[in-house]
Structure formats: structure tokens, C-alpha cells
Amino acid sequence: MPDLEILLGAVAAIVLVGVLAVRVSVRVGLPSLLLYLGIGVLLGESVIGIQFSDAALTESMGLAALVLILIEGGMTTRWRSVRPSLGLGIALSTVAVVVSIGVVGVALHVLLDLEWRTAFLWGAVLSSTDAAAVFSVLRGVAVSRRLSGALELESGMNDAPVVLAVVLLASGDPLTWLTPVLAVYELGAGAAIGLLLGFGGAWGLRRAALPATGLYPLAAMAVCVLAYSAGVLAHASGLLATYVCALVLGNADLPHRGGVRSFVEGTGWLAQIGLFVLLGLYASPARLVDAVVPALVAGVVLVLAARPLSVIAAAAPFRVPWREQAFLSWSGLRGAVPIVLGLIALIEGAPGAQDLVDVVFVLVVVLTLVQGTTLPAVARLLRVAEPAQAQQMEVDAAPLDELGADLIQVTVPLGSKLRGVYLRELRLPVGATVSLVVRDGTGFTPDGETRFRELDQLLVVATAGARRATEERLRAVDAAGRLARWRGETGG
């Protein structure tokens, strides 16, 4: 029992330090994942002295954490923001991966004298951008929706093809003409499973009428984890199924959608803290010294050749300006995913896999320091940075089962075009009404002459049939003001 108490206390302390590290990282401009890795190294064999070298457990826990991070990424990604970037995002997560593997493999075969299959395995491990790194760093950089959307989609989707490549190259099985067919099946089936469970889960949650608000986020996450398991059992890509399912659920009209997103965001942070601390604990500083030179060689190849060439190949059909291509090249952030991929190669028994894991660890630290800290400056230098945009309106709903209606909670964000609009100009559909306005902590019942202000909180009651139209109307006025309908803004 004392051991359990010590363990629980240590875990709680690590989580608290990790949460505080987020604030520190924001102030000093250092990606938080480096602080988490540092905590793990501090706890490890060279400092405090905790001995941990279980590669299989680290790999399993890493995949589990990656599933939770992908759920958070998909749930918090707005489809309206990434839809214009869908084609570019898919190209970056497929075409760019193939080009990157090829360029890194050929270069490392020549420069480090690696055997061909081993060289391409290194290329596969290093080709995947990291969802946790991108979601945590990129969302603090003000760039166009096309750029941010493409990078978010890439980081959420490219894990699936890269895992397939790593397993195929690490297993030692011969590559035949069936290999690309298998890859296409696994990716296609994974996406289909994610869509099926995403839409099915959204349909079920809208009709479940669960007795407690906190059950909705648990159910939503369970659906996404089920998508991962279903994908793996169907010999498809469980990671892609997870991300697609989360993307569908995150953009569906779920009850208590704001609470669901907040819960998965917190779970995603917890997964990031646990994953990077665990990876830091697994790392052996004594071995990392020997990995510095090959890591720097691989990093130079990756940043100066593989990533730019892969972006050029992926962006060619989409007429992306060279400044944006340069930013996409510099934004290929690496994090925990390449380390987990290296551990997969180690578990598969690939030759030299332990050296690969050490090289990737060093490379992740170096690239995160170089790229993660300079990304805002690079965006300004390339003139792709944009002024901070108005916050998007958050619309949260809860069902009133016996009345056949919904309560919709809305906060008027800063910069919203809803500011200054009179209630009578809002023109909500029949069956919907604004029943309460909370302003500066004081609630009142509005009338037609009530004029909305920024940060007003509105409570709207709408019949079940009018709910979707009500939400669309609120978003339309938020984006285009009282003349939204005539300007073509529908809020859809």
C-alpha cells in the first residue's frame, strides 16, 4: 500500500509540474514537449536514478497516448477551417511521405553507409510530423487557414501510412507488387471505419439523452477508441480510423459539445505529458552522446532536402506560392511519433533499431529547439503571418428531453459581427427565442431593443427541429453581421 501511495503521489506531482510547464513554455517561447522530456530524463537513470528500459511497454503506452492525442486533434479541428486544405493535407500525408522516405534513405545510405533497407527504415521513421507538436505549437502562430489546416490534416493523417511503412521495412518481409495494394486497402478501410463510427456515434449521442453531462465526453472518446480497435482488428489503419472518427464527432451537433471538446483537450494534454515524460525516462543519456553526429547528419538531410522536396512534390498540383511552400517546409515538426516509430522497429527486431531510437531522440530535441522556437519569426519573415483573427463563436447545446427542445448557450466572442446587432435584427427561425442574456455577471430577459455586446452570454431555447437552423443563423450573424443573409453567409 505505501508503494501505491508513493506511485500516485509521484504521478500527481508529475502532472502538476507538466501543467505548470505549459505556462513556462508559453512565456519563454519553448515548446512544452521539451520540458516534459527533460522531466523524464531528470527522473531517469542518470539523475534521480529510476531504472526503466522496457521498450515494449514504452511502445504500447506510446501508441495508446498517440490515440488520445489524435482524438484531441480531430475533436478540436474545425472542418470549416481545414476543408479548403483537404487536398493539400492528403497530399502532404501521402505523396510527401513517399518522397521524404526516398530522399532520406538515399542520402543516409551514401552519407552514413547504411544498408539500403535500414536507410529507408530511418527515412520512414523520420518522415512523420508529430500531431502533438503541431497542435501545440502551430495553433499559436497566426497564419492563413489554408496553411494551418494543411499542416493539421497532415499531422493527423500521416501517422497511418508511416506506421505501415515502418512495419513493412522493419519486419524484413519481402516487398512485392501486393505491398502498395495492401497499403491502399489499410488506409481506405481505416478512413471508412472512422467515417462509419463517427457518423454512427454522433447519431447515437444525439438521441441517447444521457442522465449526466459528464457522460457525453466519455462516450465520445469511447467511440473514437472503438474506431482504433475496429481498424486494427480489420487489418486496417487504426490511427487513421481514430482521427477521422474524432474529426466527424468534433464537427457534429453533439449535446454539450463545448464540454466534450474541453474534456478531450484535457485528456490530450495528459497524454502528451505522460508520453514525453515516459520517453524521457526511457532515454539513456550515455547512449545519446554517440547518436549526436548521425542525428545531425540526418537532421540536415531532413530539413534542407527531404522536407522541401516532399512539400514541392505534394504542393505542385495546388499552385501554392513559394513563400507558403517554404513555411510548410519549415513547419514539419517532429515529436514523440518518430520515437514511438523507432520503438516499433526495435520491437520488430530491425537491425540497428536501438541506434535509430537514440538518433531520433536527439534529432527530436534539436529540431524542436530550432524549428519550434523560430516558427513565428519564420512566418513573419516569409510574410505568411496574419493579424489575429476574431475568435469563432462557441455554440453549446443541451437537450430538454420532455419538451422536445434544446438549450443553446452562446458567448459573443471578441471581434464578432454580432456586436451591435439588436435582438429584433437577429431573426432566429420559428421555434427559437433568446430567453436570457448575462452581461457583466448580471442576467436579464432581453426584448427587441436589446443590443448585443462582446462577451455577452446568451441562452437560446429552440425546438429540436429548429436547432440546426438556429445555430447556423447565429454563426452567420457572428461572421457577417445583421446583413448575413444578403451577403451570402449562411453559417453552414
Q: What's the average model confidence in pLDDT over 23-35? A: 68
Its CATH class, for the domain covering 394-487, is alpha beta
pLDDT value of residue 313? 94
Residue found by looking up cell 534542407 in the block:
304
What tens digit of pLDDT does each residue of 403-434 get? 677 888 888 888 888 889 998 888 898 888 89
Candidates 333, 299, 329; CA nearest to 315 is: 329
Residue found by looking up cell 485528456 in the block:
267
2-381 CATH fold: Na+/H+ antiporter like fold (1.20.1530)
Pairing of strands 457-463, 432-439: antiparallel
- The residues of the chain that CATH labels 3.30.70.1450 are 394-487
Query: pLDDT confidence of 377, banded at 50, 70, 90?
Result: confident
Query: pLDDT confidence of 387, banded at 50, 70, 90?
Result: low
CA distance 42 to 23: 20
- The residues of the chain that CATH labels 1.20.1530.20 are 2-381
CA distance 96 to 98: 5
Confidence (pTM): 0.78
| Model confidence at 288: pLDDT above 50 | yes
pLDDT value of residue 243? 93
CA distance 13 to 19: 10
CA distance 178 to 184: 10
Q: Which three cell numbers stand for residue 211?
A: 442522465
